Amino acid sequence: MRIRLVVLALLLATPLRAQNSSANDVMTGAVRAYRDLDFDAAATMLRRALAPPLASGLDESGRALALTYLAATEHYRAQPDSALAVFRRLVVLAPRHRPDTLIFPPEITRLYDAVRNSTKVVAVRVPADTEFNVAEGGRLVAWLYPSTPHDVTVAVSGEDGRPRRIVYAGPIRDSLDVHWDGRDSNGAYATAERLWLTVVSPGSREVRVPLRVDVTIPDTLPHPSPLSASDVLPERSRGRTGLRSLGGAALLAAGALALPSLVAPGERASGTRFAVAGALGVSGLVGYLSRPAGTPLPENAAINQARRDAWRRQVDAVTRENAERLRAGRVHIQSGSAVVLDRGAENP
């Protein structure tokens, strides 16, 4: 059983190793052919090295070097359109790449510079994982390197392509750092299933970096609803205020007089209840006469003020509590590999 596993592992490993060495071997042969001025053979080998499956054996710098040799080869093969196309591909792949002037003559580097100046594209570098605490005001940092100075618009967009937040809009020269705090234009955390960091070079290309944002924030409390009209007492008496006092007093006075027959029917009650009924009647009369319509009601104003103050205290308490809860929140942003979309609006 163990022997079978070892054999299987060797069978699987050998092609990968052979493939990797093949890409380097082909590159070595292509460079040798280029130096021997055998440009047709060099072009054939370079195209082979840049095409699958060998292309996966080259890293970004290896592919950039292969593209530079290929563009120079096409130039010397009198294929200027192919040379321009290859250099354009090189600029898109690695906007910061510059041909080695010890290897390539000035006519090649000048051609590359011309293509680079006319090809507006931005390389975007974003950390694979960014995690920060909400309270500490952390940011996702993206480093942008343009092929040539131009204006760019950096945004975080949803799956539908619509920007959720414009992070930067303006010129970019040598390089630019842009920061994003994880929030959309409304200040809420952008928690869509999939987001894109998009860098648009107007009229040319768009670079997209996939983002996944996970926000861990405790639930916040709802703010208390504002005081409604029914929560606030009238601060000036109306015509009914005095009548209500008088009516209430009359009702209570009648209740005092009728209480014995209600509680102890048939009993002959004493006259002490008349004292209370009289006091109630006088109180109601005073309330009626002292409260004509329009009279300020300071007691109601005080009650209203107390209710407003209590409501304000509740709002402040909820605000403080929510701020405290938000301080415990964390934002985790994962990024993927950049994708360049050619909008096809420029020519060298």
Partner 1 sequence: MSTRIVWLVAASGLAASPLAGQTGITATAAGLLLNVRARSEASGVTRVSGTAVGFEGSVRFRRLELQVRYAEGRLQPADQQSDARDLVEGAVALRFVATPWLSMQVGPHARRYDTPLGPERWVTWQLGTRGDVALAGPSVRGHALLWRGMGLGVNVPPGSGSTRGGEVGVTIDLGAPLRPFWLALSYGIDQAQVRDVARRETVETLTLTAGFRRR
Q: Which is nearer to partner 1, 215 or 303 (CB)?
A: 303
Q: Which is nearer to partner 1, 62 or 281 (CB)?
A: 281
- Binding string, residues 250-279; x marks residues near partner 1 by CB under 8 A: -xx--xx--xx-xxx--x-xx-xx-xxx-x
Least Å distance, CB 321 to partner 1, is 21
Near partner 1 in 64-123, by CB under 8 A: none
DSSP 134: T
Q: Which of 245, 331, 333, 335 binds partner 1 (CB under 8 A)?
A: 245
Q: Which is nearer to partner 1, 13 or 302 (CB)?
A: 302
> Which distant-in-sequence residues (6+ apart) come within 8 Å of 23 by Cβ?
49, 54, 55, 56, 57, 58, 62
Which is nearest to 205 in space by CA: 126, 128, 151, 167? Answer: 151
Helix or strand run (H / E) with residue 133 = strand 129-133
| 301 lines the binding site for partner 1 (CB under 8 A) | no
Q: Which is nearer to partner 1, 128 or 263 (CB)?
A: 263
- What number of other Cβ atoms are within 10 A of residue 61's Cβ? 10
- What number of other Cβ atoms are within 10 A of residue 170's Cβ? 9
Least Å distance, CB 161 to partner 1, is 56
Cβ distance 226 to 332 under 8 Å? no
Backbone angles phi, psi at 104, to 5 degrees: -105, 135
In residues, how long is the chain?
Answer: 348
| 280 lines the binding site for partner 1 (CB under 8 A) | yes
| 228 lines the binding site for partner 1 (CB under 8 A) | no
- What number of other Cβ atoms are within 10 A of residue 213's Cβ? 21
| 299 lines the binding site for partner 1 (CB under 8 A) | yes
Which residues form the interface with partner 1 (CB under 8 A)? 245, 248-249, 251-252, 255-256, 259-260, 262-264, 267, 269-270, 272-273, 275-277, 279-280, 283-284, 286-287, 290-291, 297, 299
